[in-house]
A and B are shown apart, each in its own frame.
Chain A
Amino acid sequence: MTGPDMFHLGWFGSFIPTTWQSGWDGTDAGRWMDGTFYVDKVRTLERACFDFILFEDSSMVSDVYGGSSEATLKRGGWAPKGDPVALAPILARATEHIGISVTMSTSFYPPWMLARSVATLDHMSRGRIGWNIVTSSEDLAARNFGMDALPPHDERYARADEYVDLVTRLWDSWDADALVMDRERGVYVDHTKVRPIDFVGKYYKSRGPLNTLRPPQGRPVLTQAGGSPAGRQFASRYADMVMALPKGVPAMKEYRDDIRMRVAAEGRDPDQTKVMYVVSPILGETHQHALDRKAAKDEAVRQHPEGQLIGWSGSMEIDFSTFDLDKPLPDDVATNGHQSTLANFRKWAGDRTLREACVAYRTESMELIGTPDEVAAQMGEAMEEVGGDGFLIWNQPHNRRYIGEIADGLVPALQNRGLMRTGYTHEHFRDNLLEF
């Protein structure tokens, strides 16, 4: 089922409405909150042998763009958004093999609560849960939680560092063999195998122990995204999978080499941290057909660049509606949010106008356009050059047709080339992720 050239596939998305204006959206955009679409989606991805599905999250309705939530809500996509943690049990019940990673913010969840929720999910899924660690980056979200603003960027990572340490200790507060169920002596759990942790850190305190059994994976899979030095350092200490967005194959290789070097410097085996790149393949029956679809998409963005601008406004907390669309981004713009996103944006945009930047911008590491077999070949070549470890498909557009193109078109092409698994070897998410 596995081979020497294989890499991993994951799916990156949110618990949000499907697209609703594409002409191929069925009735899902009105019913997505009943979970049916997501159950079908995760089953499709399991059939296609994806390692995992990952849900990002955010905790606000952005009103940065134009100083109003109008544009955000009118289009949908950023909000409404459901709680992916509450969706996860349903997806776990509907599947047997695929990993499910959910985003939870270290800035907003009490650590003990997070540790227990994730442990519970790991049990419900029989060892297939991942926690996608974010520190959150929007002051607007902080204000929903009673704070005036988030701590500065680097302090958030210092806190997150302590947070993950604490959560890991809580998972470890129950030994794997604490459950003895000795009917004769009347002992369900051996109390000598359950211990307080008495954690007193700079930012967090927790006595412990957790009140639930040790998660089946011991430590559920930890996933993370972060391009800044603090983010990379954090990832290298904890992450089993790093979600990455460097642009172009040389940058992808450089990024992965850097992460592996940092992981090794932390005393960990670099093979224990997988680097996966975000892509949104555009597929067609013929090469020309795929190119046409890309051209049509580009033109749609040129006519209506707001979608992209709203996204940037929300994630960087900069009101992009105030800028001239036909000029580049002014030099004096700053953010407390995704620093590396802004820096990368500037570096990449150069002197493009904002409109052309919207057209050219891709939330992906490399452009993949063509027939399924052509794209499979491009992916294989990139991985050969970079060294590993796989791709995260970002839903574009978010509907059944696109998911089907990937699962039933691209995946078989990858499997034919021996680039992707054709079955699951292990029971646990981490074991599959670290299999190759």
Chain B
Amino acid sequence: MKFYFEEIKERGFEENLNSGILSCQGCGAPIAMRHVLRVLGKNTVFAVPACCWTIIDGNYPMHSLKVPLLHVAFETAAISAVGIKAGLEAKGFKDVNVVAWAGDGGTYDIGIQALSGAAERGDDIIYICYDNEAYMNTGIQRSGSTPYKAWTTTTPYTRPNPRPKKDIIQIMAAHRVPYIATISIAYLNDLIRKVEKAKNLKGKGLRFLLIYSPCPPGWRLPSSELTIKIARLAVQTNFFPLYEIEDGEKYTLNFIPDKKPLKEFIKLQGRFKHLKDEEIEEMEKDVQKNFERILNLHKLTHGNIENIPKGFYK
């Protein structure tokens, strides 16, 4: 076997991130960050609102990334990135990649106003949400991204999350931004390709990337080693399909897996341990319905599903 993830090899092994970060063992977020940085390179500035990465990047006076990072107020990820971009352009730096790097809380909930504004205005930033499906940094509280019936500290087993996960992708599609993509940290060639695409759409408007980022303590995984496995199962069970949307209307489904039963994904996570089989079956139906919807939208865009990789994907 050659180097497995060819896209990583092609872009080189230089890390734009220093070790010594304060993430929990097995955290999915820095895995995403490493490879995003690999694509974007040093000509990048990050705006990071209150989220796990506020801590991960290191306490004062330390800083992990080898690019500049501005810690910004919780609601302001998108608009702070806009400000950075505007400021840099005013100062003559034309091609800098400006990234808003936020968690799900700062994207789906408190940050959605700023995100919507930036998307609607067509601001030239890359917005990356690393989604661990709750307010993890403050201790695992429920967010708009928390899946149906999941346990969190504010939706305990006695009253698990009563609402389905907000479909932020449809919201962003409605803004008709030039590019939206869902990403799982298990599929790194796919991640790199999509970040590259987002990078190359500089000047066209807001590019939105949703990176599924498992959290071992927050999802109550039995061990920290399961992060990638869970990120992969999410895709293989169609719970988190991998797809892209261009200009809000052109859908491309990236991968049709050999579907695994949702139970495999659910039963591995303590935050779902209270679910009964009937409830999982109901969830399975919703998952399939959503997948079919995306599949149909792909057909609408491309005419057929022939060119979608099936069974095996990187």
State whether these chains interact: no
